[in-house]
Structure 1
Amino acid sequence: MIATLIKKELIRLLKDKGTVFWLILLPIFFIFIFGLIFQDRDYSFEVHYTDLDQSVASKQFIQSVSGIKGIDLKAETEIEDSKERIETGKIRTYFVIPQGFESDLKDEKSIKIDFFYDGTQNAGQVVEPVRAVLNSVVATYQDKKIEGFVKAQFPQDEALAKQVLTAPIELQMNEIQVKKVNTITTIIPGYTVMFSFFSIIILAQVFLKEHESGMLSRLLSTPMKRTQYLIGMWIPFVGMVLVQIAVLFGFGYLVYDLKLGDIPAIIVLSIALSFAVNALGLLITFLSKNENIAIAATQVIALGGAALGGLWFPIDLMPETVQKIAVFVPQYWAQKGYVDIFSRGAQLGDIIPSVIVLLSLAVVCFVGALASYKYYLKDAKH
């Protein structure tokens, strides 16, 4: 009897165009749009400048700046026009090499390079890296000046001069090869997890429709047990979310070359997520007096959890307070598990914490749903 009910619900879900739209087509649309917006590319900072000196030394300075990776220099001729463009937000940074740069450099005079920048708060992420680059280039000239002075003071003692010039602290660079990480490894699981929670709306609509139409009362008048009805109606939704996850990850694999990583880990985590989502869906459905309340509650949980759980933005970029709150959101644990699998090569043993949290939520919600089930049945229309 349970198998018959499961088959009936699966057929109904597959025929429902809304199911395909909400769980497959809409998330694919979001993945495609945000994949275009945040596609991986080499980022560079555009820096505008004017060289009033036009000397060998000034050109060497410009070459030193342009030789740094990520800096794209743009020559300008009009100083006031460039400053006005900063005021209007058309450019962010601009510096001016003064006339007499080379002669002052030879005479060891102090040289002032004017650096103009957008002072608005949201421009800081562009301004600060450029400021750091210019300071580092200026520092090399200072180092050369110090080196010349020290060697002049100790012309006969190279060892002492070398000792004085040796930096007391050296930054040792050690590159560690990790699995390639790109925006797709966060966008695809992020929107997959988010839209898996929207399946609760479909679950609520099906259960409440049978509750209000009298179908539930007619079914329960047959030899079917109440637990058989619950399980037979619930299992198809668990399978539906698993199919949704498989389709979206398959889309990512075929279109964006998503590196899936450990398949057993993905399967176990997906099952845990599906159980958690659908157990929560049952609880929301049985506690809701009508479909509108169930939909509203689902939207708050799905969108609020997506924002707090790092589905839209990497959790590391969020305020510390939000990061602390995120651990209480199921979306965070699902996203963390998937991202670890895709980007860091995590295997089943590495994602156990995520699985435990999701299954614990599933158990708590299912127990709560069972406790509310009798009221759902009691109020069913005949």
Structure 2
Amino acid sequence: MLLYKLWRSFIKEILLLKRDIGGIVIIFVMPLLLIITITLIQDSTFKNMEGSKIPIIFIDNDQSEISESIKKQLENSKTFELLTDFNEKSAETAVFGGDYQMAIVIPKNLTKDINSNIDSKVQSIVSSFGLETDSTAIKQNTSKAKDIRLYFDPATNISFKNNVMNAVNKMVFEIENKKIYKAFQDQLGTTEDLKNNSLIAFKEITPKKGNMDVLPNSVQHNVPAWALFAIFFIVVPLSINLVKEKSQGTSVRARISPTPYFIHILGKTFTYLIICVIQFLLMVAVGIYLFPYMDLPQFDVTGKMFPLIIVTIFAGLAAIGFGVLLGTVADTQEQSAPFGATSVVVLAAIGGIWVPVFLMPEFMQTIAKFSPMNWGLNAYYDIILRNSGIGGIAKEIIFLFLFYIAMVAISLFYERKQNAV
């Protein structure tokens, strides 16, 4: 009997959705448009290193060895296009006006002063060992540190600034090291070739599939992230339907009927859970079949579909629980619709859908740990990027299920309290 009542409740929810064409569009079409648009934008950003170069202004007031070396390394980076037809004043105006992202100004006599400084310091060190040196050169160590001036557009991302400054620092450091080796070689009168080879190098170890490196791409991040956003956006139509039932008297008839009220909630749960799974499958289908035709990487789910579906089911339960609570507490559609949409956007921002959690301030990273979207996203990433199984995502699944139980329990308690005689 209970199964029959649950079936009838399920049929009722399907009929309600069929009458709400706008809700169907929001549930299915909007997330697909989002994932295609955002993935295209982000993928073009990821491919920037291979595609168009960033134009930057390069002003060489040194016109000597070190400035030429810096210029050559910047050109060889395949990231920047150097513009040299500027003076410092016009470069400052162009960059601060937003025409270009940055300008690099090499000061006068950079090479001369660095050579003089290095020779003086090397001779001072050599003389401390009791070896003969040019004493007049030791006294010349009076030059101050030279500033390579960097102008940045005020709207430039801070990470871009840091990357450029680190790159320039590395270039200058390598040049100085080579000159120091050469100065010691000249002072000691040795003919041995003292090469400035790095004793430590970095080697990135990436996951492999066969003999191929598995590199993260925009599709692997965007498909699960925006699928999760779509799943939680069912909060809007679900809460609106609950409010409609209260205003039309449907909820009153449900309470006075012999069917327990929790069956009414379970009917909604099963209905919207099926919708969540369909949403996710549509997102995956776009990633597998459509993205390759748009010059985007194909979404690879080989051997991962079962755990991905499990995460989707529990993420759907968390979203349904939140929608049920919102629809139970709200009195009008004007309350439920905007609050539901806004709260989902906020949860997405906190959960790392838009900005990675590790880039957030420390207190926001702590808050993110309590976001159901963050639990779902971490579970998806564990499966897709870290090759985890069900055991590796058990904690996130438990958190999502407990969130659903808590939301539904609060809703039932609130509903009972509101209708107590």
* TM-score under structure 2 length normalisation: 0.76
- Judge which range, 79-88 or 110-119, deviates more: 110-119
In structure 2, the residue matched to 1:374 is 416
Verify the 8 A CA contact 1:315 1:323 in the aligned structure 2. Answer: yes
Q: 2:81 aligned to 72, 81, 91, which one?
A: 72
Please list the CA deviations of residues 301-339 of structure 1 after superposition, one character each: whole Å capped at 9, or x if unmatched: 312211111111111111111001111111110111112
2:359 aligns to what? 317
Opposite residue 325 of structure 1, the aligned amino acid is: I
Aligned-pair distance for 1:199? 1.3
Q: Aligned residue pairs: how many?
A: 374
In 1, the alpha carbon distance for the partners of 2:186 and 2:65 equals: 25
Q: Which residue of structure 1 lines up, in the alignment, with residue 231 of structure 2?
A: 196
Between 301-310 and 119-128, the greater mean CA deviation after superposition:
119-128
Residue 41, structure 1, aligned to residue 83, structure 2: no
Tell whether the 8 Å contact from 1:310 to 1:332 is kept in structure 2 after alignment: yes
2:300 to 259, 269, 275: 259
Matched residue, 2:8:
4
The alpha carbon displacement at 1:79 in A equals 4.3
User: Deviation digits for residues 71-114 of structure 1, max 9, x if unmatched?
Assistant: 43233254442232123232243345577888889988979675
Give CA deviations for 1:9-44 in whole Å, capped at 9, x if unaligned.
Answer: 224424531232111111222222222322231345
Please point out which of 346, 353, 356 is paired with 2:395.
Answer: 353
The aligned counterpart of 1:146 is 180
User: 1:28 is matched with which residue?
Assistant: 32
Structure 2: gaps spanning 5 or more residues = 120-139, 208-213, 292-297
- AA aligned opposite 2:176: Q
| Greater relative CO, 1 or 2 (CA 8 Å, sep 6+) | 1
Q: Is 1:47–1:130's contact at 8 Å kept on the other side of the alignment?
A: no
Cα distance change on mapping 1:58 and 1:275 into 2, 3 Å: closer
* Contact 1:285–1:294 (Cα < 8 Å) also in 2: yes
Tell me the equivalent position of 1:182: 217
In 2, the alpha carbon distance for the partners of 1:95 and 1:218 equals 74
Residue 140 of structure 1 deviates from its aligned partner by 3.2
Distance 2:335 2:54 in 1: 49
- Matched residue SS, 1:195: helix
Q: Normalising by structure 1, what TM-score?
A: 0.82
C-alpha separation in 1, matches of 2:248 and 2:341? 25
Contact 1:52/1:99, CA 8 A, preserved across alignment: yes
Please report how far the alpha carbon of residue 57 of structure 1 lies from its aligned counterpart in structure 2 after TM superposition. 7.7
> Is contact 1:98-1:113 (8 Å) kept?
yes
Equivalent of residue 240 in structure 1, options 257, 270, 275: 275
- Are the structure 2 counterparts of residues 219 and 101 from structure 1 closer, same or farther at C-alpha, using a change threshold of 3 Å? closer
CA distance in 1, matches of 2:173, 2:113: 17
Q: Is this contact kept in 1: 2:115–2:179, CA < 8 A?
A: no
- Work out whether 1:93 is the aligned partner of 2:99: no
Residues 134-184 of structure 1: CA deviation (Å, up to 9, x unaligned): 3333333322322222223333595xx96xx878x9433122113322233
Aligned to 1:206: 241
1:173 alignment counterpart: 202
Deviations 1:203-246 (A, max 9, x none): 22223323332344456666645444443343212222222222
Instruction: Work out the CA distance in 2 between the residues paired with 1:298 and 1:125.
Output: 33
Matches within 5 A, 1:240-319: 240-256=275-291, 257-260=298-301, 262-319=304-361
- State whether residues 56 and 102 of structure 2, in contact with CA within 8 Å, keep that contact through their aligned partners in structure 1: yes
Between the aligned residues of both structures, percent identity stands at 21
SS at match of 2:336: helix
Deviations 1:118-148 (A, max 9, x none): 3748454333333333333333332232222
> Does the residue aligned with 1:346 lie in a helix, a strand or coil?
coil
Structure 2 vs 1, CA of residues 21 and 327 (structure 1 numbering), >3 Å: closer, same or farther?
A: same
8 Å CA contact 1:197–1:298 kept in 2: the answer is no
Amino acid at match of 2:357: I
Letter in 2 for 1:295: A
Match of 1:38, SS state, is: helix
Equivalent AA in structure 2 for residue 64 of structure 1: Q
Distance in 1 (alpha carbons) for counterparts of 2:267 and 2:155: 56
Aligned mates of 2:107, 2:258 — CA distance in 1: 93
| Pair 327,104 (structure 1): closer, same or farther in 2 beyond 3 Å | closer
Task: For 1:148 and 1:154, locate their aligned partners in 2 and report how far apart those are by CA, in whole Å.
Answer: 10
2:177–2:196 CA contact under 8 A, matched in 1: no
More deviation, 19-28/91-100: 91-100
Give unmatched runs, 5+ long, in structure 1.
none
CA contact (8 A) 1:204 1:285 kept: yes
Residue identity in the other structure for 2:300: K
Q: CA RMSD in A?
A: 3.5
In structure 2, do the counterparts of structure 1 residues 14 and 171 end up closer, same or farther at CA, with 3 Å as the change threshold? farther
